[in-house]
Every structure is written in structure tokens, then in C-alpha cells.
């Protein structure tokens, strides 16, 4: 059968591909230490699980409104006001099947074929693929470790053309863990207003912050900025609810209306039980988030200390999320664990998996050649064993 050209051009997610390779080796009886997937290793907190059971027992197992239950939309608005002091209305909220679904909704709703979407590198692997899927053009703007992997207002302004429709921004960042300083975000906000560019702010890691770093939502820099901001968020990362598949957008009413019309044709509704679980997450005690973040901070400190002690490795400060993103290019062409050297990050990850039995994700997938990503959302014992194996591989 014939398949469409636009889908044929899509590449599979490199993150999921790396995890699949690790599973293949495990199936052969090899002990693989897997640091590829970006999801908390904690079970969803008990009060949230109990809310899901209560929802089922109460009969909330039928269709809901296509764009989510009103109570959850209101809870999203209340949480945003509580945490960041910015007001949204339930009519500006769309509940979706996870943040990735929400991202795709936004791009379909606001982009036309041929529009340009600015994406600072390094970027999450699905951004460019989702842009291409709607017929728009990803414009990748390089940022460097020396710049803190933050897009400057000068580079943003220089990348804008009459075809520019959108800037995709992610802070805290996947894959780098970098948190944009407030001044840097404000400078980008000024350019967005000046050039009349929509900013899609992916804030899925907003609750996972480490000492010395502060989160600022992009919508908080005044009404002119908020009118040009679309926020994507969800419960997956902060509440360890990746499998529940609940995300959302916050957008001006005309955009949220467009997203609502689109989603009404895509899906009958986000999972009803998951919506009630998300409601408990947002309205319930937040101590679970604090406790998980504290454990992530302990792991982060250990990983950073170990990696920065290895000669030839450099990395930015992970101020949020749960990733270490480090440069391995100084080890290219050198012999690696009784085998030949490599010339790029993808081959480095393949060699590390096959010879050292450690799975990382290549920075090539994130638009950052020479770097690799390690998720530290796993146990301290796994981290210790994995870092020991990486050191042995490089030595």
C-alpha cells in the first residue's frame, strides 16, 4: 500500500530507539544499564492513585467533554495562579492526551504550510518532527555550552523572517537541564512582541528545579507577551504520571478555540479516569513533588560530581529536569574499551551500549553533535554502576 510522503520522511524518536536497543540486549541476557528514557522512576503518589480508583467506583468511566472536564480546567487555572501569579480562564485551557499531543495540537492550530518555526538547539527530539508533520519548516538556531545553551535575543531577532510564525522554547530544558535566567526570558519576550511572534513555551519540567535556579513562566512578562504565548504542560514529570497521558495547553481564547475544534475531531476525550487523577494531583498535597525533587537533586549532585571528575568531559549546570548532557567529543578517535575509536556521538553511544552495556542518547538526535544525554531518573545504585562503566569505557 502507498504511504504518504510526509510520514515517510519522519524519523523514529531517537530516544525510544535507544531504549529499544537496550531492551534487545537485555532479551539476550545482557545486563544493560539504561539511562535513555525521560520519566520519573517513582510510582504515582498514593493519593492520586486512590483518586483514580474512587473515580472508577463513582462511575466516571464514560465519555467526557472532548477537551476535558471543567473541574480539571479550573484546577489548571487555579494551580497556575497559585504557583506563578498569572490568571487564565478555563475557556483558555484544553486538556489533551499528554504534552506531546498538546504540542502537535498547537502546531496544527497556528501554523500554515511553509511557515517557519524557530527552534533553539539542543532541542527535544520530537520538536522538529512535529513541525515538519504540519508542513512548516523548522529553523534550527544553534546555541553553545559557552552561552549556557540559551537562545540570545540577538540570535532570535536574526532568525526572524516574514515567514516566522512561532518560537519553540523549553525551560527547564530537555536535553540539557538548563533553566533560562529571568533576564534572558524577558529579553526574548521583548523580541517576540517587537516581531509579533507566537512563543510556544514548553514548561513540562517547571516543578523540577534545583537550588540556585528559579522558574519563570513566559506568560508572566505582561499582557502583550501573554497574548502571544501558548503554554504546554502536564502532570507527567512533576507527579510521576507519564503513563496516565494528561497534558494541556493554556492559550488565548481564539487559539484555544481552534485547538478545541481540532481535538474534537481527533479524539472523543482524554482518558476520563486519568483526568480525575490529574485533578487530585493539582488540588491535593504538593509534598510529593517536593520529596521527589529533593531525591532528583541528590542524584543530580552525584552525577555532576562524577562526570566532571572524568578528564575530557564538559557539561552545563543542570538547573532543572533530570538530565546530564555532556560533551564526549574529546574522546573521539581514541580507542574505547578494547575497541576502535568513534567519530560522532551516535557511534559513541552504539559502542558504549555494545561494549560497555550502558545506554545513553546521542546528542545528534537533539541537534548537538558531540554530546550525549543521560537521564538520572533512576536509583543511586544504577547511577553508580553506570558511571563506573562509563569511566571504564573511556579509560
pLDDT in tens, 227-238: 999 999 999 999
**What is the mean pLDDT of the segment spanning 322-335?**
95
Taking residues 347-356, report their average pLDDT: 93
Structure confidence by residue, pLDDT tens digits, 179-192 = 999 999 999 999 99
**Residue 150: count of CB within 10 angstroms of its CB:** 22
| Residue 187 pLDDT | 98
Cβ atoms of 122 and 173 within 8 Å: the answer is: yes
185 in Cβ contact with 172 (< 8 Å): no
Q: What's the confidence (pLDDT) of residue 5?
A: 87
Is residue 13's pLDDT more than 80? Answer: no
Look at residue 211 and give its three-state secondary structure: coil
Which residue matches cell numbers 493519593? 47
> Mind listing the domains of the chain with CATH numbers?
5-43+288-394 (3.90.1150.10), 62-283 (3.40.640.10)
The H or E element spanning position 140 is strand 137-142
Q: Contact 356/374 with Cβ under 8 angstroms?
A: no
Range of weakest confidence among 25-39, 137-151, 325-339, 379-393: 25-39
Q: Helix, strand, or coil here: 227?
A: coil
DSSP one-letter code for 243: G
Give residue 7's pLDDT: 85
CA angle (89 as vertex; 84, 94 as ends), nearest 5? 95
Closest Cα to residue 331, out of 303, 304, 352, 355?
Answer: 352
Which pLDDT value is given to residue 11? 78
Residue 110: all three cell numbers together: 497556528
**Three-class DSSP category at 69:** coil
CA distances from 325 to 37, 70, 175, 308, 321 (A): 14, 39, 6, 11, 11
Task: Round the average pLDDT of the chain to a whole number and report it.
Answer: 95
Amino acid at each position: 500500500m502507498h504511504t504518504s510522503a510526509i510520514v515517510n520522511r519522519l524519523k523514529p524518536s531517537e530516544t525510544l530507539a535507544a531504549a529499544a536497543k537496550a531492551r534487545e540486549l537485555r532479551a539476550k541476557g545482557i545486563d544493560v544499564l539504561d539511562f535513555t528514557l525521560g520519566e520519573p522512576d517513582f510510582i504515582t503518589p498514593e493519593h492520586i492513585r486512590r483518586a483514580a480508583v474512587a473515580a472508577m467506583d463513582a462511575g466516571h468511566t464514560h465519555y467526557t467533554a472532548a477537551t476535558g472536564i471543567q473541574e480539571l480546567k479550573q484546577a489548571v487555572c487555579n494551580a497556575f495562579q497559585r504557583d506563578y501569579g498569572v490568571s487564565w480562564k478555563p475557556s483558555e485551557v484544553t486538556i489533551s492526551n499528554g504534552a506531546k499531543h498538546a504540542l502537535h495540537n498547537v502546531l496544527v492550530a497556528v501554523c500554515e504550510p511553509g511557515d517557519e518555526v524557530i527552534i533553539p538547539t539542543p532541542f527535544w527530539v520530537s520538536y522538529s518532527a512535529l513541525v515538519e508533520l504540519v508542513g512548516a519548516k523548522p529553523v534550527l538556531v544553534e546555541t553553545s555550552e559557552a552561552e549556557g545553551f540559551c537562545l540570545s535575543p540577538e540570535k532570535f531577532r536574526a532568525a526572524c523572517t516574514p515567514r516566522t510564525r512561532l518560537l519553540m522554547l523549553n525551560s527547564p530544558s530537555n536535553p540539557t537541564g538548563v533553566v533560562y535566567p529571568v533576564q534572558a526570558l524577558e529579553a526574548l519576550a521583548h523580541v517576540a512582541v517587537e516581531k509579533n511572534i507566537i512563543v510556544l513555551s514548553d514548561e513540562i519540567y517547571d516543578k523540577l528545579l534545583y537550588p540556585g535556579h528559579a522558574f519563570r513562566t513566559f506568560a508572566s512578562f505582561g499582557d502583550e507577551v501573554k497574548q502571544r504565548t501558548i503554554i504546554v504542560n502536564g502532570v507527567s514529570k512533576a507527579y510521576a504520571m507519564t503513563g496516565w497521558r494528561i497534558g494541556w495547553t493554556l492559550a488565548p481564547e481564539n487559539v484555544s478555540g481552534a485547538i478545541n475544534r481540532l481535538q474534537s475531531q481527533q479524539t472523543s476525550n482524554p482518558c476520563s479516569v486519568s483526568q480525575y487523577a490529574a485533578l487530585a494531583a493539582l488540588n491535593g498535597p504538593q509534598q510529593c513533588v517536593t520529596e521527589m525533587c529533593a531525591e532528583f537533586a541528590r542524584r543530580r549532585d552525584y552525577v555532576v560530581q562524577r562526570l566532571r571528575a572524568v578528564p575530557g568531559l564538559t557539561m552545563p549546570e543542570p538547573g532543572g529536569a533530570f538530565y546530564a548532557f555532556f560533551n564526549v567529543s574529546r574522546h573521539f578517535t581514541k580507542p574505547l574499551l578494547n575497541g576502535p575509536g568513534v567519530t560522532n556521538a551516535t557511534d559513541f553511544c552504539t559502542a558504549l551500549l555494545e561494549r560497555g552495556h550502558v545506554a545513553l542518547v546521542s546528542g545528534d538526535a537533539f541537534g548537538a553533535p558531540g554530546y550525549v544525554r543521560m537521564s538520572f531518573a533512576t536509583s543511586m545504585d544504577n547511577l553508580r554502576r553506570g558511571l563506573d562503566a562509563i569511566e571504564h569505557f573511556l579509560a
